[in-house]
Structure 1
Amino acid sequence: MNKSKNNRRSLDTNKLYVLDKDFYPDRWEDDMFMSSIMYNFRPKEVNPEYYEQKMQFWKDMIELYCDYKGSCSISINELKDVFRRKGTSPYCLSDVLNQMQSEGNLQDKISFMQKPNESWTSWTINTFIYKPANWGFSKIKEKVIGAGNQSDDTVFIVKSAVQKQARLLQEHVKKQHSYNNIISMDDLMKHADDIEGLSREGIFFALQYMSVYTKTAYIEEHQTAGENHHHKLLVKFSEPHKSVEPIKELERSIYNLEHTERFLIETIEKKESYLNSVLSDVKNCLKDGKKQMAKTYLRKKHLLESDINKTMSILDNVQAMLQRIHNSKSDKEILSAYKMGSDSIKNTFVKSGINIDNVQDIIEDMREVIEDQDEYENILSSPIRGLNDIDDSELEKELNDIINENKKPGPKDDKSNKAVEDLNLLDLEMRLKRLRSDLPDLDDETTSTTVPRSHEKFTQ
């Protein structure tokens, strides 16, 4: 089923009971099925399964219709026209509504409309009278206030539908406005046609449900000074599943200032537009040679500029006051956060048994323990008499001796040393030969006796 804004608007104006074909389910075209569905219920004992199937079919149709038109209100005559098929209206709707009422999903509008205050009811009457169309005063008044006796024209409220539509209204407030801030009823209804899934009537019943039954909306009459005693309704919404608090004096003051701010901005825009028009008149008069008329418009231009400047000054003051109020609210929230943090720390200290005296005692104990530890380490690191009386120079000498001892030559080192000695002996022998050649007068015998035996062995 496709739902559209145009279809819901048609329900509020000329075509009250004309629905789009897409509203009806596919089985609506099944003649065999619908022929039995349209007539009165047979006793449940005859065929319990079919009885429940038929009952559920009409419950679903009623739910779909409430979603389609964006309102939770129904009556038997209204449903007969809506569900008319090939000239025949359902005969079983009374049984369906009785079943829904026994299950707690249906309530007559008279008992549903517990009035928060008389102004709320009077406002709804005035709101729904502004577009009489085919409705007429008596029809609208009956729909808002309720009929004296329950009949086919008696208006009922479908509880499951109004709950769903209340959630839709909350989502709209969350996106377009904000929770816990004041909204004028006129501002809320100004863009009512743009709220997805809700008609104007649906908004009215959703507000009633939220203000009386779930306590998530608060409605209050308000009169703004200087508006010829014009009454307004102010609404305040809370977050889902939280009870709303009554409107406070500070919130009313903020609302009045914000209302004044919007009024001043609109006034300045209008005056600036008029100023541009006057300036255009001055130029046109000069162009046409009407100098005196141009002066007249020019004086008006200066007066308008002065008036705009005064209004701008007032607007600056109002905006400054609003800014101070918002800053004070922010400061309050910050201080509240600080207090919560401080309280949490205090509670932690209390639960753990920590206080100033305990902390000071613990710190003092730690200082004493650290001082004792330093003293222990100094004592442990000082030399013990009788163990360290050996001179360091003696230890160094002994250490060098051990190192040199480790460097004694091995077998390979002995062979290399012998080779070196042989080379030195050969060198010595050559020197002796040269010396002998330089001394010819010496006796050979004498010379031969002077040669070492080792040399003789070498020469042989």
Structure 2
Amino acid sequence: MVPSNLGEEMSTKVTLPPEWEDDERMNFLFSDFKENRDVNTKDWDSKIDFWTSLILKICRSRGTVCFNLQELNKIFQRKGFVPLGLGTVIRCMARCGKIQRESEFAANVDCGWVSWGFGLLLVKPLKWTFSTLLGSSGVTLEESFVVIELVKEKAAELLGVYWSSPVANCSLLSFQELQTLSSHVCIDESTLCMALLQLQREKQVTVSLHEGEKIVKFSQPGQDRVSSVSDVDLGIYQLQRSERLLEVRVEALGLEAEKCKEEARVLLREGKKSQALRYLRSRKRVERKADGLNAQLENVKGILDRIANSETDKLVIQAYQAGVSALRLSLKDGTVEGAESLVDQIQELCDTQDEMNQTLAGGALNSTDADTDELEDELRSLLESSTLDRPSTLPEVPSHPLSPVRESGSICDDLLCALPLVPQSLFNITDEELDKELSRLTLADTCLQEKDCTAPVKRAESAQ
């Protein structure tokens, strides 16, 4: 872990790759590049890829989008040595479009960013200008470069933070308010400015100066590009700013009035009545001032509400206009006379259809009567033919059960003859015997009933 100064206020640590502890590997990576890449393209490209990925990784982990050669030398210092080929790496990254000089990045935006005075490097350094005139492509230590990939990510993140914030309904924001809102996204003012420049390129942000104050306007969700700052936007911004100032002032006066009240109570307990009265008078004066500011605040809020309602009314009117235009187009070829003529034609066609249906229904009924007579004649002929085909006599029903025909002398006949006769009554009991048994059971039941009736009488007599 090596401390980094990438960013003026950053003091966190950077995680370096595992090969950082390999002396042989790092000696190769710290060595300078050959003048001609064709001598050993593999070694050249491996060194370029290593330092390029490491620079991007460090910038992303630190949350910054800019770097310079001096800061990289401090970060990558190892055992008292610094990489000798970082200048070549930076030039290769610039040729590939991965980075761009901060001055060029800002100058390519179509706006007056130079007048902002953010402390950005908007003018090319004198050393770089002289080296360019002399044909040199060297990189100065303090020249700042912007990582294009990272600044695009930061710009998208900043736009998302604004859209999801409570101030998204405000058309304009001051630069100080935006700094506070995006403090967890942009670590410093330079990073915020680079993100705004990228959004300016993408037509998602417009920045302007109003009475010496930097104000920012973002595009709204669903819009392809941001609209220019209008007089209405400036008026709403002034009203919202006045509203915030009045709210702060009213809150401060409320605290002051409460403080006067407490002081008067303390002095009254101490018996200092005159001083307590003086604090009460101050409290009344502060409350009157607060009431006046409250009235002004209500007026400002009322105006803002009316403006918001006017925007809604404007949308409703536009919807009405679109509806009227669509209705007019749909009724362009239609008239009242044409509609009446069309209804008459429909009625005539309906009458004609009813007459045709009645005609067809009458023909169907006549044909049905003729068909019914023919069907009745055919039914009678079928009945007569079925009567003639029926046999006149039927064979007599046998009076005794039929038995299968068996061959004489078979084994089955011998077995049947050897079996005993089937009894004619159940268990060889005749009807007379059953009657006698029934009479005997009846007599037994009668005796039992008589005993049951006499037993209670005897028990009663014994009790007496």
Which band: TM-score by shorter chain? 0.5 to 0.7
Whether 1:11 aligns to 2:4 is no
Contact (CA 8 Å) 1:66, 1:72: kept in 2 or not? Answer: yes
What is the alpha-carbon distance in structure 2 between the residues aligned to residue 21 and residue 9 of structure 1? 10
What is the alpha-carbon distance in structure 2 between the residues aligned to residue 71 and residue 386 of structure 1? 100
Q: Given the alignment, which residue of 240, 243, 253 partners 1:258? A: 240
Identity of aligned residues (%): 23
Q: Closer, same or farther in 2 for the Cα pair 1:202/1:367, shift >3 Å? A: farther
Q: Which residue of 2 aligns with 1:190?
A: 180
- Counterpart amino acid of 1:91? L
Contact (CA 8 Å) 2:158, 2:182: kept in 1 or not? Answer: no
Whether 1:30 aligns to 2:36 is no
Q: Which residue of 2 aligns with 1:450?
A: none
Q: Unpaired runs of 5+ in structure 1?
A: 2-6, 126-140, 224-230, 389-460
What is the alpha-carbon distance in structure 1 between the residues aligned to residue 169 and residue 92 of structure 2? 37
Q: Given the alignment, which residue of 179, 192, 204 partners 1:203? A: 192
Contact (CA 8 Å) 2:65, 2:150: kept in 1 or not? Answer: yes
Deviations along 1:230-269, whole A, 9 cap, x unmatched?
x211101125882221111111111111111111111110
Q: Unpaired runs of 5+ in structure 2?
A: 129-139, 369-464
Deviations along 1:290-318, whole A, 9 cap, x unmatched?
11222211222222222111111111111
What is the alpha-carbon distance in structure 1 between the residues aligned to residue 268 and residue 19 of structure 2? 77
Q: Which residue of 2 aligns with 1:163?
A: 152
What is the alpha-carbon distance in structure 1 between the residues aligned to residue 365 and residue 161 of structure 2? 91
What is the alpha-carbon distance in structure 1 between the residues aligned to residue 365 and residue 112 of structure 2? 102
Contact (CA 8 Å) 1:9, 1:199: kept in 2 or not? Answer: no
Q: Closer, same or farther in 2 for the Cα pair 1:30/1:298, shift >3 Å? A: same
Q: Which residue of 1 aligns with 2:251?
A: 269
Q: CA deviation at 1:164?
A: 1.7
Q: How does 1:392-403 map to 2 (within 5 A)?
A: none
Q: Which residue of 2 aligns with 1:112?
A: 105
What is the alpha-carbon distance in structure 1 between the residues aligned to residue 13 and residue 219 of structure 2? 36
Q: Which residue of 2 aligns with 1:147?
A: 125
Which deviates more, 173-182 or 155-164? 173-182
Q: Closer, same or farther in 2 for the Cα pair 1:384/1:258, shift >3 Å? A: same
Q: How does 1:98-137 map to 2 (within 5 A)?
A: 98-114=91-107, 116-117=111-112, 120-122=115-117, 124-125=118-119
Relative CO higher for 1 or 2, CA cutoff 8 Å, sep ≥ 6?
1
What is the alpha-carbon distance in structure 2 between the residues aligned to residue 233 and residue 364 of structure 1? 72
Q: How many residues align?
A: 357
Q: How does 1:279-298 map to 2 (within 5 A)?
A: 279-298=261-280
Contact (CA 8 Å) 2:14, 2:58: kept in 1 or not? Answer: no
TM-score, length-normalised on structure 1?
A: 0.67
Q: Given the alignment, which residue of 204, 207, 229 partners 1:219? A: 207
Q: Which residue of 2 aligns with 1:404?
A: none
Residue 178 of structure 1 aligns to a residue in which SS?
helix
Q: CA deviation at 1:92?
A: 0.9
Q: How does 1:240-389 map to 2 (within 5 A)?
A: 242-340=224-322, 349=330, 355-357=333-335, 360=339, 362-374=342-354, 376=356
- Counterpart amino acid of 2:173? I
Q: CA deviation at 1:159?
A: 1.7
Contact (CA 8 Å) 1:100, 1:106: kept in 2 or not? Answer: yes
Contact (CA 8 Å) 1:219, 1:234: kept in 2 or not? Answer: yes
Task: List, as ranges, runs of 4+ consecutive aligned residues in structure 1 with deviation greater than 6 Å.
Answer: 7-10, 378-388
- Counterpart amino acid of 1:154? E
Contact (CA 8 Å) 2:5, 2:75: kept in 1 or not? Answer: no
Contact (CA 8 Å) 1:165, 1:198: kept in 2 or not? Answer: no
